[in-house]
Structure 1
Amino acid sequence: MDDLSLTPLFATILFVLSCLSGYQYRRVWKQEGPRWQLWLFGAFAAAGLAVLGFVPLDAG
């Protein structure tokens, strides 16, 4: 498990996708859209940000 780390490129991609999912979550929420879309976008945004928060970045 010591090998588990994110490359800067993958972390950036994950961050952008999490932000876009959060934006979509907010858009669906404001329009009172389907609940399944709220769960889908919310879960992906939360999981992506949790990974970014708890998995270290590869320094080199």
Structure 2
Amino acid sequence: MSFEEIGKALNISPSRAYEIYSNALRKLRHPRNLKKWQRILEDLAEINKPQEKDSNTERGEKL
């Protein structure tokens, strides 16, 4: 999606859409957010980690 399309959808100019985008990226990259991002990435890695199967469920038994 282009900044022009975003601007039309939000009823703002394309340059204002780009300005908002740039400010958001600058804030996300700020060093004070490093620990927050590390926690988020660790949580995502935990969520995406393959789950160990329970030996009972592998045999088709119900819990």
For the criterion TM > 0.5, the same-fold answer is no
Bigger-Rg structure (1/2) = 2
TM range (shorter): 0.3 to 0.5
TM-score normalised over the length of structure 1: 0.36
Scaled by the length of structure 2, the TM-score of the pair is 0.34
